[in-house]
Structure 1
C-alpha cells in the first residue's frame, strides 16, 4: 500500500464525501460548517496524498474523476465499517443503535413508514435514512451497493441477490367515480382500451409491470399520457384525463374518500410482491440484519398492518 494513503484523515474523507454529494465546494463548506478555502485546502491535501486530481470543472459543473469515483467507493466501505463497529459496540452494551440506510421504490413509500415504525417499537434507538426512487434508479443503487437494503418489486434476473418477498403489491384500475365504466359491472381489461391510459415515467417499476401485463393480455391502449409521479398520476385521474393502473397502496386514501373508484376488471388485480433485497455476499450492518430478520419473522403481522392499504372494494352492481 502507498504510504501516502495511510496519512489520509477521516476528516478529509468527510469533506471529500460532502463535495461529492453536493457537487459544490461552497455547499460542502456550508454543510460541514467550514469556510470554502478550508474545504479547498482539504481537497488539495487529499489530491496530493492520492497523487491524482479528484474533481474537474466542465463549464460550471463539477465532475468526479475516475480517482474520485474509486476513492468514493473506498470511503463508503470505510464509513460503513465504522458505522457497523458502532452498532456492534452498542449491541455489546445491550441495545441496538445506529442508522438504517434504506432505499425504496416510490410505490412502497405509503406503507414503509408504518413498517419502520413497527420495527422502531422493538429497537427505539435506531434511526432511518430513507431514499425514494423509481425502479430504474433502485437498480443502479443496488448495483453500486449504495444502501443497506432496498424494498422493491420486479427483481432483475441478471444480478446475484438475497431477497425476501414479504408483502403483496396489488395493481388495480382506477377512475373518477363519474366515469361511464363504473356502472357496467364486471369488466374485461380490453374494455378499458377506449380511454386514455395515464402511465408513470420511463424507469417506473409499475409502468414496466403494467406494460408487460397488457402486452401479454393483448390489451392495446392507443392513447397514452405520461405522468411523472404517483401523486400527479392520481390527480390526473381525478381530473378526468384518463384511467390508470396503480398500486392499491398508492391510492387507498382516494379510494376510501370516494375521490377515485376501483374498476372491477376480471384480469385484475395484477399481483406483484414487495421484496427486501441486498446484493448477495454483502455484509449487513447489525441494524440492517435486524431489519431483515424482523421482516422475515413478522411477515404475518406486516400483512395485517398493510391490509388497510390494499382492501378490495366490492364489485359495483350494474345500474347502481
Structure 2
C-alpha cells in the first residue's frame, strides 16, 4: 500500500464525501460549517496524497474524476465499517442500534414502511433512511454500493447479487368505474389496446415488465401517455385519460374507495416478486443482517401484513 494513503484522515474523507454529494465546494462548506478555502485545502491535500485530481469543472458543473469515483467507493466502505463497529458495540451493550439504509423501487414504497414498522417493533432503536428509486436508478445504486440493502422486483442476471424473494407483487389493469370495459366480465389484454395506456418513465421496472408481457401476449397499444410516477398514472386514469397497468398494492386505496376498478383480464395479474438484494460478498452491518434475517424468517407475518394491500377490484375474488 502506498504510504501516502495512510496519511489520509477521516476528516478529509468527510469533506470529500460532502463535495461529492453536493457537487459544490461552497455547499459542502455550508453543510460542514467550514469556510470554502478550508474545503478547498482539504481536497487539495487529498489530491496530493493520491497523486491525482479528484474533480473537473466542465462549464460550471463539478464532475468526479475516475480517481474520485474510486475514492468514493472506498470511503463508503470505510464509513460503513465504522458504522458497523458502532452498531456492534451497542449490540454488546444489549440492544441493536443504528440506521438501516434502504433503497426501494417505487412499486414497493407503499408496503415497505409497514414492513419496517414490523421490524422496528422487535428492534425499536433502529432508524431508517429510505430512498425511493426506479429500476434504472436502483441498478446504479447497486453498482455504487450506496445502500445497505435494496428492494427490487426485477433482479438482473448479469450482476453478482445475493437476493431473497419475499412477497408477490401483482400487476393489474385499472380503469375509472364509468369506463365501458368495467361492465365486461371477461377481457383479454388485446381488448384493452383500443384505449390509451398510461405508462411510467423509461427506466421503470414496472414499465419494462408490462411492455415485455404485452409484447408476448401480442397486445400492442397504439397510443401511450408517459407520466413520471404511479401516483400520476392513477390520477390520469381517474381523470379519464386512459387505462394503466399498476401494482395492486399501489392502488389499494383507490380500489377500495371505488374511484378505480380492476378490470377482469384473463392474463392478469402479472405476478412478480419483490426481492431483498445486495451485492454478493458485501459486508452487511449488524442492522442490515438483522433486517435480512427478519424478512427471511417472518414470511407468514409478512404475507399476513400484505393481505391489507391486496384489495381486489369490484367483482373480483381475493387472490384472483
TM-score range, shorter chain: over 0.9
- Where 1:294 maps in the other structure, the secondary structure is helix
Partner of 1:121 in structure 2? 121
Q: Which residue of 1 aligns with 2:309?
A: 309
Whole-Å separation in 1 of the counterparts to 2:199 and 2:66: 37
Contact 2:262 2:314 in 1 (8 A): no
How far has the Cα of 1:36 moved from its partner? 1.5
Equivalent in the alignment of 1:234? 234
Partner of 2:18: 18
Shift of 1:314: 4.2
Partner of 2:170: 170
Q: Is the 8 A contact 2:263 2:313 kept in 1?
A: no
SS at the partner of 2:193?
helix
In the alignment, which residue of structure 2 is the partner of 1:99?
A: 99
* Separation in structure 1 between the aligned mates of residue 134 and residue 188 of structure 2, nearest angstrom: 29
More moved, 222-231 vs 239-248: 222-231
Q: Which residue of 2 aligns with 1:142?
A: 142
TM-score by length of 1: 0.96
Match of 1:55 in 2: 55
C-alpha separation in 2, matches of 1:27 and 1:256: 45
Matches within 5 A, 1:1-320: 1-315=1-315
Q: CA deviation at 1:3?
A: 2.0
Moved over 6 A (4+): none
- CA deviation vs aligned residue, 1:147-204 (integer Å, no higher than 9, x gap): 1111001111112221111111000001111111111222121111110011111111
| Deviation of 1:2 (Å) | 2.1
Q: Deviations over 1:19-62 (max 9, x none)?
A: 00110111111111212222112111222222221111111000
Note if contact 1:173-1:245 (Cα within 8 Å) is conserved in structure 2.
yes
Is the 2:184–2:264 Cα contact (8 Å) retained in structure 1? no
Alpha carbons 1:186, 1:315 under 8 Å: kept = no
Deviations 1:199-223 (A, max 9, x none): 1111111011111111111111111
- Using the TM superposition, give the Cα deviation of residue 78 of structure 1 relative to its aligned residue in structure 2, in angstroms: 0.6
Contact kept, 8 Å, 2:161 with 2:278, in 1: the verdict is: yes
Q: Is the 8 A contact 1:23 1:62 kept in 2?
A: yes
Q: Deviations over 1:279-314 (max 9, x none)?
A: 121121110010000001111111111211122234
Q: Give 1:139 shift.
A: 1.4
Gap runs ≥5 in structure 2: none
Distance in 2 between the 1:29 and 1:255 partners?
48
